[in-house]
Structure 1
Amino acid sequence: MLFGASERRGHLPFIRTRRPRRDAEANRERLLAAAVTAMLRDGRNVPLAAIAAEAGVGVGTLYRRYPDRQALLHDLEHRAYDLLVGILEEIDAEDRTGRDAVADYLARCLAVADQLVLPLRGAPPLTSAEAVRARRTIYRFLDAFLARGRADGTVRADVNATDVIVFSALVTQALAHGPNWPWTAERQIAIFVTALAAGGPPGVPRPEITLDDVEAAFAAHAAPSSGDGRGPS
Protein backbone atom coordinates (compact mmCIF):
# COMPACT_ATOMS: atom_id res chain seq x y z
CA MET A 1 0.00 0.00 0.00
CA LEU A 2 1.16 3.52 -0.68
CA PHE A 3 0.32 4.78 2.81
CA GLY A 4 -0.08 2.98 6.13
CA ALA A 5 -3.35 2.62 7.99
CA SER A 6 -2.70 5.55 10.31
CA GLU A 7 -1.88 7.77 7.34
CA ARG A 8 -5.07 6.79 5.57
CA ARG A 9 -6.94 7.83 8.70
CA GLY A 10 -5.88 11.42 8.33
CA HIS A 11 -2.16 11.98 7.89
CA LEU A 12 -1.69 11.79 4.12
CA PRO A 13 0.79 14.18 2.48
CA PHE A 14 -2.25 15.65 0.70
CA ILE A 15 -3.67 17.90 3.42
CA ARG A 16 -7.31 18.72 2.93
CA THR A 17 -8.40 22.17 3.99
CA ARG A 18 -10.62 22.48 7.06
CA ARG A 19 -14.25 22.07 6.05
CA PRO A 20 -16.90 24.68 6.78
CA ARG A 21 -19.73 23.78 9.10
CA ARG A 22 -22.07 21.03 7.94
CA ASP A 23 -24.93 23.15 6.59
CA ALA A 24 -22.56 25.36 4.61
CA GLU A 25 -20.88 22.27 3.15
CA ALA A 26 -24.28 20.83 2.19
CA ASN A 27 -25.18 24.09 0.43
CA ARG A 28 -21.84 24.07 -1.38
CA GLU A 29 -22.34 20.50 -2.56
CA ARG A 30 -25.88 21.28 -3.75
CA LEU A 31 -24.58 24.21 -5.81
CA LEU A 32 -21.72 22.19 -7.28
CA ALA A 33 -23.95 19.23 -8.13
CA ALA A 34 -26.40 21.61 -9.79
CA ALA A 35 -23.54 23.19 -11.74
CA VAL A 36 -22.46 19.79 -13.07
CA THR A 37 -26.04 18.93 -14.07
CA ALA A 38 -26.63 22.28 -15.77
CA MET A 39 -23.29 22.20 -17.60
CA LEU A 40 -23.94 18.70 -18.89
CA ARG A 41 -27.33 19.80 -20.18
CA ASP A 42 -26.54 23.28 -21.51
CA GLY A 43 -22.75 23.44 -21.85
CA ARG A 44 -20.04 25.04 -19.75
CA ASN A 45 -21.28 28.56 -20.56
CA VAL A 46 -24.69 27.94 -18.99
CA PRO A 47 -25.89 31.13 -17.21
CA LEU A 48 -25.18 31.16 -13.49
CA ALA A 49 -28.84 31.97 -12.93
CA ALA A 50 -29.71 28.60 -14.50
CA ILE A 51 -27.34 26.87 -12.08
CA ALA A 52 -28.98 28.64 -9.14
CA ALA A 53 -32.40 27.54 -10.39
CA GLU A 54 -31.16 23.95 -10.74
CA ALA A 55 -29.96 24.09 -7.12
CA GLY A 56 -33.24 25.58 -5.93
CA VAL A 57 -31.65 28.73 -4.53
CA GLY A 58 -31.76 32.39 -5.45
CA VAL A 59 -29.08 33.71 -7.76
CA GLY A 60 -27.89 35.97 -4.93
CA THR A 61 -27.07 32.90 -2.86
CA LEU A 62 -24.91 31.56 -5.67
CA TYR A 63 -23.14 34.88 -6.21
CA ARG A 64 -22.35 35.21 -2.50
CA ARG A 65 -20.44 31.95 -2.73
CA TYR A 66 -19.18 32.26 -6.31
CA PRO A 67 -18.84 35.85 -7.54
CA ASP A 68 -18.06 34.70 -11.08
CA ARG A 69 -17.87 31.61 -13.28
CA GLN A 70 -14.13 31.20 -12.70
CA ALA A 71 -14.63 30.87 -8.94
CA LEU A 72 -17.26 28.19 -9.54
CA LEU A 73 -15.00 26.27 -11.92
CA HIS A 74 -12.16 26.49 -9.41
CA ASP A 75 -14.27 24.88 -6.69
CA LEU A 76 -15.49 22.21 -9.11
CA GLU A 77 -11.86 21.39 -9.87
CA HIS A 78 -10.96 21.05 -6.19
CA ARG A 79 -14.05 18.85 -5.74
CA ALA A 80 -12.83 16.61 -8.58
CA TYR A 81 -9.39 16.26 -6.99
CA ASP A 82 -10.99 15.28 -3.68
CA LEU A 83 -13.10 12.69 -5.51
CA LEU A 84 -10.09 11.14 -7.26
CA VAL A 85 -7.98 11.06 -4.09
CA GLY A 86 -10.85 9.30 -2.31
CA ILE A 87 -11.06 6.70 -5.09
CA LEU A 88 -7.31 6.11 -4.94
CA GLU A 89 -7.36 5.75 -1.15
CA GLU A 90 -10.04 3.05 -1.44
CA ILE A 91 -8.12 1.15 -4.11
CA ASP A 92 -4.85 1.43 -2.18
CA ALA A 93 -6.49 -0.18 0.85
CA GLU A 94 -7.34 -3.30 -1.18
CA ASP A 95 -5.04 -6.24 -1.85
CA ARG A 96 -4.67 -6.45 -5.62
CA THR A 97 -2.02 -6.51 -8.31
CA GLY A 98 -0.64 -3.27 -9.66
CA ARG A 99 -2.32 -3.73 -13.02
CA ASP A 100 -5.69 -4.51 -11.41
CA ALA A 101 -5.36 -1.36 -9.27
CA VAL A 102 -4.82 0.75 -12.40
CA ALA A 103 -7.73 -0.97 -14.16
CA ASP A 104 -10.03 -0.29 -11.20
CA TYR A 105 -8.97 3.35 -11.10
CA LEU A 106 -9.78 3.84 -14.79
CA ALA A 107 -13.15 2.12 -14.41
CA ARG A 108 -14.06 4.28 -11.42
CA CYS A 109 -12.96 7.43 -13.27
CA LEU A 110 -15.32 6.50 -16.10
CA ALA A 111 -18.16 5.96 -13.61
CA VAL A 112 -17.78 9.53 -12.29
CA ALA A 113 -16.71 11.14 -15.56
CA ASP A 114 -19.39 13.83 -15.44
CA GLN A 115 -17.96 15.06 -12.11
CA LEU A 116 -14.39 15.48 -13.35
CA VAL A 117 -13.95 19.19 -14.00
CA LEU A 118 -10.19 19.08 -14.58
CA PRO A 119 -7.55 20.91 -16.66
CA LEU A 120 -6.88 17.95 -18.97
CA ARG A 121 -10.63 17.91 -19.66
CA GLY A 122 -10.83 21.62 -20.48
CA ALA A 123 -11.16 23.34 -17.10
CA PRO A 124 -8.97 26.40 -16.41
CA PRO A 125 -5.69 25.12 -14.89
CA LEU A 126 -5.17 25.97 -11.23
CA THR A 127 -1.62 26.60 -10.01
CA SER A 128 -2.34 27.17 -6.31
CA ALA A 129 -0.30 25.17 -3.79
CA GLU A 130 -3.39 23.15 -2.90
CA ALA A 131 -4.13 22.19 -6.51
CA VAL A 132 -0.51 21.25 -7.22
CA ARG A 133 -0.40 19.21 -4.00
CA ALA A 134 -3.57 17.35 -4.98
CA ARG A 135 -2.21 16.52 -8.42
CA ARG A 136 1.04 15.26 -6.90
CA THR A 137 -0.92 13.07 -4.50
CA ILE A 138 -2.82 11.52 -7.40
CA TYR A 139 0.46 10.97 -9.25
CA ARG A 140 2.09 9.31 -6.22
CA PHE A 141 -0.77 6.85 -5.80
CA LEU A 142 -0.68 5.86 -9.48
CA ASP A 143 3.12 5.69 -9.48
CA ALA A 144 2.93 3.32 -6.50
CA PHE A 145 0.37 1.12 -8.31
CA LEU A 146 2.70 0.88 -11.31
CA ALA A 147 5.70 0.14 -9.08
CA ARG A 148 3.67 -2.60 -7.40
CA GLY A 149 2.82 -3.97 -10.83
CA ARG A 150 6.45 -4.03 -11.89
CA ALA A 151 7.30 -5.86 -8.66
CA ASP A 152 4.50 -8.42 -9.02
CA GLY A 153 5.13 -8.93 -12.73
CA THR A 154 1.86 -7.49 -14.05
CA VAL A 155 3.02 -4.12 -15.45
CA ARG A 156 5.62 -3.30 -18.09
CA ALA A 157 8.55 -1.06 -17.21
CA ASP A 158 8.12 1.73 -19.76
CA VAL A 159 4.83 3.26 -18.55
CA ASN A 160 4.56 5.99 -15.93
CA ALA A 161 1.78 7.58 -13.89
CA THR A 162 1.40 10.47 -16.33
CA ASP A 163 0.49 7.96 -19.05
CA VAL A 164 -2.36 6.71 -16.85
CA ILE A 165 -3.49 10.26 -16.02
CA VAL A 166 -3.52 11.32 -19.67
CA PHE A 167 -5.38 8.18 -20.74
CA SER A 168 -7.96 8.67 -17.99
CA ALA A 169 -8.59 12.21 -19.26
CA LEU A 170 -9.02 10.94 -22.82
CA VAL A 171 -11.27 8.00 -22.04
CA THR A 172 -13.63 9.89 -19.72
CA GLN A 173 -14.68 12.35 -22.44
CA ALA A 174 -17.48 11.00 -24.60
CA LEU A 175 -16.89 11.17 -28.34
CA ALA A 176 -19.20 13.50 -30.21
CA HIS A 177 -21.71 11.31 -32.08
CA GLY A 178 -19.74 8.22 -31.04
CA PRO A 179 -21.36 4.79 -30.73
CA ASN A 180 -22.71 3.31 -27.51
CA TRP A 181 -20.86 5.31 -24.88
CA PRO A 182 -19.66 4.30 -22.25
CA TRP A 183 -19.34 0.76 -23.65
CA THR A 184 -16.88 2.10 -26.21
CA ALA A 185 -14.83 3.63 -23.38
CA GLU A 186 -14.88 0.37 -21.42
CA ARG A 187 -13.38 -1.40 -24.43
CA GLN A 188 -10.62 1.19 -24.70
CA ILE A 189 -9.82 0.74 -21.00
CA ALA A 190 -9.57 -3.02 -21.50
CA ILE A 191 -7.20 -2.52 -24.44
CA PHE A 192 -5.05 -0.06 -22.44
CA VAL A 193 -4.86 -2.37 -19.43
CA THR A 194 -3.96 -5.32 -21.66
CA ALA A 195 -1.15 -3.24 -23.16
CA LEU A 196 0.15 -2.52 -19.63
CA ALA A 197 1.05 -6.18 -19.18
CA ALA A 198 4.67 -7.02 -18.51
CA GLY A 199 6.36 -8.60 -21.50
CA GLY A 200 4.21 -6.74 -24.01
CA PRO A 201 5.62 -5.58 -27.33
CA PRO A 202 8.12 -2.69 -27.21
CA GLY A 203 7.57 0.60 -28.94
CA VAL A 204 6.43 3.19 -26.37
CA PRO A 205 7.82 6.50 -27.70
CA ARG A 206 10.53 8.32 -25.77
CA PRO A 207 11.05 10.58 -23.95
CA GLU A 208 8.36 9.95 -21.38
CA ILE A 209 6.01 12.73 -20.27
CA THR A 210 6.56 13.63 -16.62
CA LEU A 211 4.42 15.30 -14.00
CA ASP A 212 6.70 18.33 -14.23
CA ASP A 213 5.90 18.53 -17.96
CA VAL A 214 2.19 18.59 -17.13
CA GLU A 215 2.61 21.24 -14.42
CA ALA A 216 4.67 23.41 -16.80
CA ALA A 217 1.91 23.20 -19.40
CA PHE A 218 -0.71 24.15 -16.80
CA ALA A 219 1.38 27.10 -15.63
CA ALA A 220 1.78 28.31 -19.22
CA HIS A 221 -1.98 28.30 -19.76
CA ALA A 222 -3.19 29.38 -16.32
CA ALA A 223 -5.03 32.64 -15.86
CA PRO A 224 -3.24 35.20 -13.63
CA SER A 225 -5.81 34.61 -10.87
CA SER A 226 -5.59 30.82 -10.93
CA GLY A 227 -3.93 30.85 -7.55
CA ASP A 228 -7.52 31.01 -6.23
CA GLY A 229 -6.77 31.95 -2.65
CA ARG A 230 -6.64 28.39 -1.29
CA GLY A 231 -2.90 28.43 -0.68
CA PRO A 232 0.19 30.26 -1.90
CA SER A 233 0.88 29.64 -5.56
Structure 2
Amino acid sequence: MTRKNGRTDDGGEAAGTSPGPRRTRRRPRRDSEVNRERLLAAAISAMLREGRNVPLATIAAEAGVGVATLYRKYADRQALMHEIEHRAYGLLVHILEEIEELGCPGREAVGEYLTRCLEVGDQLVLPLHGAPPLMTAEAVRARQTINRHLDAFLDRGRSDGTIRAEVNATDVIVFTALITQPLSYGPSWPRMAGRQIAIFLNALAVDGPIGIPGPEITQRDIEDSFAAQDAT
Protein backbone atom coordinates (compact mmCIF):
# COMPACT_ATOMS: atom_id res chain seq x y z
CA MET A 1 0.00 0.00 0.00
CA THR A 2 1.55 3.35 -1.02
CA ARG A 3 0.78 6.88 -0.04
CA LYS A 4 -0.20 9.55 -2.52
CA ASN A 5 -0.71 13.06 -1.22
CA GLY A 6 -1.56 11.81 2.26
CA ARG A 7 -3.88 9.07 0.99
CA THR A 8 -3.31 5.34 0.50
CA ASP A 9 -3.54 3.85 -2.94
CA ASP A 10 -6.82 2.18 -1.99
CA GLY A 11 -8.42 5.58 -1.39
CA GLY A 12 -8.21 5.60 2.43
CA GLU A 13 -6.56 8.20 4.62
CA ALA A 14 -2.90 7.51 5.35
CA ALA A 15 -1.98 6.92 8.98
CA GLY A 16 -0.87 10.02 10.81
CA THR A 17 -2.67 12.39 8.48
CA SER A 18 -5.88 14.20 9.00
CA PRO A 19 -8.29 15.36 6.35
CA GLY A 20 -8.11 19.03 5.47
CA PRO A 21 -10.77 21.38 6.72
CA ARG A 22 -14.09 20.77 5.06
CA ARG A 23 -15.59 23.70 3.24
CA THR A 24 -19.17 24.13 4.32
CA ARG A 25 -21.62 25.50 1.82
CA ARG A 26 -23.28 28.55 3.22
CA ARG A 27 -27.04 28.44 2.89
CA PRO A 28 -28.43 31.69 1.55
CA ARG A 29 -29.98 33.81 4.24
CA ARG A 30 -33.67 34.35 3.64
CA ASP A 31 -34.46 36.23 6.82
CA SER A 32 -34.18 39.60 5.13
CA GLU A 33 -36.59 38.71 2.32
CA VAL A 34 -39.03 37.05 4.72
CA ASN A 35 -39.02 40.14 6.93
CA ARG A 36 -39.51 42.35 3.88
CA GLU A 37 -42.60 40.43 2.76
CA ARG A 38 -43.98 40.40 6.28
CA LEU A 39 -43.55 44.15 6.57
CA LEU A 40 -45.12 44.90 3.20
CA ALA A 41 -48.07 42.57 3.79
CA ALA A 42 -48.58 44.02 7.27
CA ALA A 43 -48.33 47.58 5.95
CA ILE A 44 -50.97 46.96 3.30
CA SER A 45 -53.28 45.25 5.79
CA ALA A 46 -52.87 48.00 8.40
CA MET A 47 -53.37 50.78 5.85
CA LEU A 48 -56.56 49.18 4.57
CA ARG A 49 -57.83 48.97 8.12
CA GLU A 50 -56.61 52.27 9.60
CA GLY A 51 -55.62 54.46 6.67
CA ARG A 52 -52.26 55.41 5.20
CA ASN A 53 -51.18 57.31 8.32
CA VAL A 54 -51.24 54.22 10.51
CA PRO A 55 -48.28 54.35 12.96
CA LEU A 56 -45.22 52.53 11.70
CA ALA A 57 -44.96 50.85 15.10
CA THR A 58 -48.36 49.26 14.43
CA ILE A 59 -47.11 47.91 11.11
CA ALA A 60 -43.97 46.49 12.72
CA ALA A 61 -46.00 44.82 15.48
CA GLU A 62 -48.40 43.31 12.95
CA ALA A 63 -45.43 41.97 10.97
CA GLY A 64 -43.97 40.43 14.13
CA VAL A 65 -40.74 42.41 13.92
CA GLY A 66 -39.26 45.23 15.96
CA VAL A 67 -39.57 48.86 14.94
CA ALA A 68 -35.79 48.93 14.51
CA THR A 69 -36.08 46.23 11.84
CA LEU A 70 -38.63 48.33 9.96
CA TYR A 71 -36.43 51.43 10.07
CA ARG A 72 -33.38 49.47 8.94
CA LYS A 73 -35.26 48.63 5.76
CA TYR A 74 -37.32 51.79 5.30
CA ALA A 75 -36.04 55.09 6.61
CA ASP A 76 -39.50 56.65 6.72
CA ARG A 77 -43.11 56.24 5.63
CA GLN A 78 -42.37 57.52 2.14
CA ALA A 79 -39.72 54.85 1.58
CA LEU A 80 -42.19 52.19 2.71
CA MET A 81 -44.89 53.54 0.39
CA HIS A 82 -42.47 53.52 -2.52
CA GLU A 83 -41.61 49.88 -1.89
CA ILE A 84 -45.31 48.96 -1.71
CA GLU A 85 -45.91 50.69 -5.05
CA HIS A 86 -42.97 48.91 -6.68
CA ARG A 87 -44.36 45.64 -5.35
CA ALA A 88 -47.78 46.40 -6.85
CA TYR A 89 -46.29 47.12 -10.27
CA GLY A 90 -44.38 43.86 -10.05
CA LEU A 91 -47.61 41.98 -9.35
CA LEU A 92 -49.29 43.49 -12.42
CA VAL A 93 -46.36 42.79 -14.72
CA HIS A 94 -46.24 39.19 -13.48
CA ILE A 95 -49.98 38.78 -14.14
CA LEU A 96 -49.60 40.14 -17.66
CA GLU A 97 -46.64 37.88 -18.43
CA GLU A 98 -48.59 34.84 -17.28
CA ILE A 99 -51.56 35.79 -19.47
CA GLU A 100 -49.27 36.38 -22.44
CA GLU A 101 -48.08 32.79 -22.14
CA LEU A 102 -51.67 31.55 -22.44
CA GLY A 103 -51.91 32.87 -26.00
CA CYS A 104 -55.67 33.40 -25.68
CA PRO A 105 -57.79 35.71 -27.90
CA GLY A 106 -57.51 39.42 -27.23
CA ARG A 107 -60.78 40.01 -25.41
CA GLU A 108 -60.26 36.90 -23.29
CA ALA A 109 -56.78 38.15 -22.36
CA VAL A 110 -58.22 41.49 -21.23
CA GLY A 111 -60.89 39.67 -19.23
CA GLU A 112 -58.30 37.45 -17.59
CA TYR A 113 -56.31 40.53 -16.61
CA LEU A 114 -59.32 42.27 -15.08
CA THR A 115 -60.34 39.16 -13.15
CA ARG A 116 -56.86 38.57 -11.76
CA CYS A 117 -56.48 42.22 -10.80
CA LEU A 118 -59.77 42.02 -8.91
CA GLU A 119 -58.39 39.07 -6.94
CA VAL A 120 -55.33 41.05 -5.78
CA GLY A 121 -57.02 44.45 -5.64
CA ASP A 122 -56.15 45.04 -1.99
CA GLN A 123 -52.45 44.71 -2.88
CA LEU A 124 -52.55 47.40 -5.57
CA VAL A 125 -51.41 50.51 -3.72
CA LEU A 126 -50.97 52.73 -6.78
CA PRO A 127 -51.43 56.37 -7.87
CA LEU A 128 -54.85 55.78 -9.46
CA HIS A 129 -55.88 54.40 -6.06
CA GLY A 130 -54.68 57.56 -4.32
CA ALA A 131 -51.07 56.67 -3.56
CA PRO A 132 -48.42 59.34 -4.28
CA PRO A 133 -47.19 59.05 -7.90
CA LEU A 134 -43.88 57.23 -8.07
CA MET A 135 -41.58 58.67 -10.74
CA THR A 136 -38.50 56.46 -10.37
CA ALA A 137 -37.08 54.98 -13.57
CA GLU A 138 -38.15 51.53 -12.38
CA ALA A 139 -41.76 52.63 -11.83
CA VAL A 140 -41.96 54.39 -15.21
CA ARG A 141 -40.58 51.29 -16.95
CA ALA A 142 -43.13 49.12 -15.15
CA ARG A 143 -45.99 51.36 -16.29
CA GLN A 144 -44.66 51.27 -19.84
CA THR A 145 -44.51 47.47 -19.69
CA ILE A 146 -48.10 47.28 -18.44
CA ASN A 147 -49.26 49.56 -21.26
CA ARG A 148 -47.34 47.58 -23.84
CA HIS A 149 -48.89 44.27 -22.79
CA LEU A 150 -52.42 45.67 -22.70
CA ASP A 151 -52.05 47.37 -26.08
CA ALA A 152 -50.83 44.03 -27.46
CA PHE A 153 -53.95 42.30 -26.09
CA LEU A 154 -56.16 44.96 -27.68
CA ASP A 155 -54.33 44.73 -31.03
CA ARG A 156 -54.71 40.96 -30.92
CA GLY A 157 -58.42 41.35 -30.24
CA ARG A 158 -58.86 43.61 -33.24
CA SER A 159 -57.00 41.11 -35.40
CA ASP A 160 -58.96 38.08 -34.19
CA GLY A 161 -62.30 39.93 -34.27
CA THR A 162 -63.06 39.78 -30.54
CA ILE A 163 -62.56 43.53 -30.00
CA ARG A 164 -64.14 46.27 -32.08
CA ALA A 165 -64.40 49.21 -29.69
CA GLU A 166 -61.90 52.05 -30.06
CA VAL A 167 -60.22 51.73 -26.69
CA ASN A 168 -56.59 51.78 -25.62
CA ALA A 169 -54.50 50.48 -22.73
CA THR A 170 -55.24 53.55 -20.62
CA ASP A 171 -58.97 52.83 -20.82
CA VAL A 172 -58.35 49.32 -19.50
CA ILE A 173 -56.07 50.65 -16.74
CA VAL A 174 -58.65 53.21 -15.60
CA PHE A 175 -61.38 50.56 -15.52
CA THR A 176 -59.06 48.28 -13.55
CA ALA A 177 -58.51 51.05 -11.00
CA LEU A 178 -62.29 51.41 -10.62
CA ILE A 179 -63.10 47.74 -10.07
CA THR A 180 -60.24 47.18 -7.62
CA GLN A 181 -61.55 49.82 -5.20
CA PRO A 182 -64.61 48.32 -3.50
CA LEU A 183 -67.57 50.51 -2.64
CA SER A 184 -67.88 51.23 1.06
CA TYR A 185 -71.34 49.70 1.30
CA GLY A 186 -73.32 47.25 -0.77
CA PRO A 187 -73.52 43.56 -1.64
CA SER A 188 -70.49 41.34 -2.17
CA TRP A 189 -67.92 43.37 -4.09
CA PRO A 190 -66.53 40.45 -6.14
CA ARG A 191 -70.09 39.79 -7.31
CA MET A 192 -70.70 43.44 -8.19
CA ALA A 193 -67.31 43.91 -9.84
CA GLY A 194 -67.73 40.67 -11.78
CA ARG A 195 -70.85 42.09 -13.38
CA GLN A 196 -69.04 45.29 -14.30
CA ILE A 197 -66.24 43.26 -15.89
CA ALA A 198 -68.78 41.37 -18.00
CA ILE A 199 -70.40 44.64 -19.13
CA PHE A 200 -66.97 46.07 -20.04
CA LEU A 201 -65.98 42.97 -22.02
CA ASN A 202 -69.29 42.95 -23.88
CA ALA A 203 -68.72 46.60 -24.76
CA LEU A 204 -65.29 45.75 -26.21
CA ALA A 205 -66.92 43.36 -28.66
CA VAL A 206 -69.02 45.98 -30.46
CA ASP A 207 -68.70 49.40 -31.99
CA GLY A 208 -71.70 50.79 -30.13
CA PRO A 209 -74.11 53.54 -31.15
CA ILE A 210 -72.65 56.01 -28.64
CA GLY A 211 -69.27 57.33 -29.70
CA ILE A 212 -66.41 57.38 -27.22
CA PRO A 213 -65.49 61.02 -26.44
CA GLY A 214 -62.14 62.10 -27.79
CA PRO A 215 -59.33 62.73 -27.84
CA GLU A 216 -58.13 59.47 -26.34
CA ILE A 217 -56.23 59.52 -23.06
CA THR A 218 -52.74 58.12 -23.53
CA GLN A 219 -49.99 56.86 -21.29
CA ARG A 220 -48.20 60.17 -21.91
CA ASP A 221 -51.18 62.03 -20.46
CA ILE A 222 -51.07 59.84 -17.34
CA GLU A 223 -47.31 60.26 -16.93
CA ASP A 224 -47.59 64.04 -17.33
CA SER A 225 -50.28 64.20 -14.64
CA PHE A 226 -48.15 62.04 -12.31
CA ALA A 227 -45.12 64.24 -12.91
CA ALA A 228 -47.13 67.39 -12.23
CA GLN A 229 -48.41 65.95 -8.96
CA ASP A 230 -44.93 64.79 -7.98
CA ALA A 231 -43.57 68.31 -8.55
CA THR A 232 -46.03 69.95 -6.13
TM-score by length of 2: 0.85
Could you say what the CA RMSD is over the residues aligned between the two structures, in angstroms? Answer: 1.5
The partner residue of 2:54 within 46, 59, 62 is 46
Map Cα deviations across residues 165-223 of structure 1 (whole Å, 9 max, x no partner). Answer: 01100110011223321211111111111101144334111100000000000001115
Partner of 2:131 in structure 1?
123
Deviations 1:110-152 (A, max 9, x none): 0000000100001110111111000000000000000000000
Aligned to 1:3: none
Q: Tell me the secondary structure at the aligned position of residue 87 of structure 1.
A: helix
Contact 2:165 2:208 in 1 (8 A): no
Letter in 2 for 1:180: S
**Whole-Å separation in 2 of the counterparts to 1:94 and 1:216:** 33
Please identify, of 169-178 and 129-138, the stretch whose mean Cα deviation from structure 2 is larger.
169-178
Instruction: Tell me if structure 2 keeps the 8 A contact 1:153–1:198.
Output: no
Out of 62, 65, 68, which is 1:60 matched to? 68
| TM-score (structure 1 length as normaliser) | 0.84
Contact 1:156 1:200 in 2 (8 A): no
Partner of 2:176: 168
CA distance in 2, matches of 1:84, 1:109: 7
CA distance 1:176–1:202, change in 2 (3 Å) = same
| Corresponding residue for residue 133 of structure 1 | 141
Q: Which residue of 2 aligns with 1:181?
A: 189
The CA distance in 2 between the partners of 1:35 and 1:65, in whole Å, is 13
How far, CA to CA, are the matches of 2:102 and 2:122 in structure 1?
25
Change (3 A) 1:222 1:97: same
The alignment covers a number of residue pairs equal to 205
Displacement, 1:21?
6.2
Equivalent position to 2:200, from 192, 212, 215: 192
Equivalent residue for 1:159, pick from 150, 167, 171: 167
Q: Matched residues in 2 for 1:111 and 1:46: separation?
A: 24
Residues of 2 paired with 1:202 and 1:152: CA distance? 23
Q: What is the aligned partner in structure 2 of residue 103 from structure 1?
A: 111
Map of 1:76 onto structure 2: 84
d(CA) in 1 for partners of 2:138 and 2:132? 15
- Residues in 1 aligned to 2:200 and 2:64: alpha-carbon distance in whole angstroms: 42
3-state SS of paired residue (2:189): coil
Aligned residue number for residue 14 of structure 2: none
Query: What is residue 217 of structure 1 aligned with on the other side?
Result: 225
Corresponding residue SS for 1:93: helix
Greater Rg, structure 1 or structure 2? Answer: 2
Higher relative CO (Cα under 8 Å, sequence separation at least 6) belongs to: 1
Using the TM superposition, give the Cα deviation of residue 76 of structure 1 relative to its aligned residue in structure 2, in angstroms: 0.2
Runs of 4+ in 1 over 2 A off after TM superposition: 20-23, 198-202
Q: Which is worse superposed, 178-187 or 206-215?
A: 178-187
Structure 1 range deviating more: 198-207 or 215-224: 198-207
Output the CA distance in 2 between the equivalents of 1:151 and 1:139. 18
Q: 2:102 aligns with which of 77, 94, 119?
A: 94
- In the alignment, the residues of structure 1 paired with residue 209 and residue 107 of structure 2 have an alpha-carbon distance, to the nearest angstrom, of 16
- Residue 80 of structure 1 contacts residue 117 of structure 1 at CA under 8 Å; is this kept in 2? yes
Identity %: 71
Q: What amino acid maps onto 2:142 in structure 1?
A: A
Counterpart code for 2:175 = F
